[in-house]
A and B are shown apart, each in its own frame.
Chain A
């Protein structure tokens, strides 16, 4: 059974710092890995999707890497800002039935202090 773990569960950093969020998964047979952002009381916003054949994806100050063989992904946030404060979730897409299914980690709560 695929399990997704995110470490740390919570992180507090000063503004301007570069930071790394970690995601690990137990089964390397995935279609893709997706990083989401969730603001308090809100839905999920997709940040980056890394296909199984890719090693990394970049969007602005965000860079996500994927190492399927070791079952790991990292989300790198450069020059963090208070507006980056949110919960960050990773999810892996696995094969099942008529479509891929997303298996989520429990998230990392990020606080960027001004």
Chain B
């Protein structure tokens, strides 16, 4: 039971490059989320998805693009990476909304030089 996986685990890229972070879950959860974790800010929601082809912005969506063509995958793309996007990115999923837990992936540490 793989659960929720993220790839790559570590990524170094240059300013202005496009980079895609992958998230895959094996539970067929409807809801998926992307967070970033920064010192002093905790975790902040970037985008979320309620189902395939349904996505919406979170607290800090600027500079990011998401898609969800399949229930199990939720990639996050930085269209033109900036140094301020250096962070640890976590993907999460949840079976339903309401009083249901979110389960988190191991994270991707992204450094933009």
Contact = CB atoms under 8 A, between A and B. Distances in A.
Are A and B subunits of one complex? yes
A31 to B, nearest CB: 6
B21 to A, nearest CB: 14
Contact of B101 (A41, A42, A46, A98): A46
Nearest to A53: B99
A106 B33 CA distance: 19
Contacts of A32: 99
Q: In the complex, which range does the number of interface residues on chain A fall in?
A: 20 to 34
Contact of A42 (B94, B98, B106): B106
Contact of A49 (B41, B43, B99, B106): B99
Contacts of B101: 34, 46, 49
A25 interface: no
A102 B103 CA distance: 12
Dominant secondary structure of chain B at its interface with chain A:
strand
A79 to B, nearest CB: 25
A17 to B, nearest CB: 26
A86 B3 CA distance: 22
Interface stretch (B12-20, B50-58, B69-77, B78-86): B50-58
Given A99-B94, A104-B42, A105-B42, A46 B102 contact: yes
A100 B42 contact: no
A55 interface: no
22 contacts: A32-B99, A36-B104, A41-B107, A42-B106, A42-B107, A43-B90, A43-B107, A46-B104, A89-B42, A98-B50, A98-B56, A99-B31, A99-B48, A101-B59, A102-B33, A102-B43, A102-B45, A104-B43, A104-B44, A106-B41, A106-B42, A107-B42
B54 A98 contact: yes
Given A44-B90, A98-B50, A107-B42, A31 B107 contact: no
Given A31-B99, A52-B99, 13 more contacts: A42-B106, A43-B105, A43-B107, A91-B43, A98-B56, A98-B97, A100-B98, A101-B45, A101-B48, A101-B58, A102-B102, A106-B40, A106-B41
B98 A44 contact: no
Interface in A83-114: 89, 91, 93, 97-102, 104-107
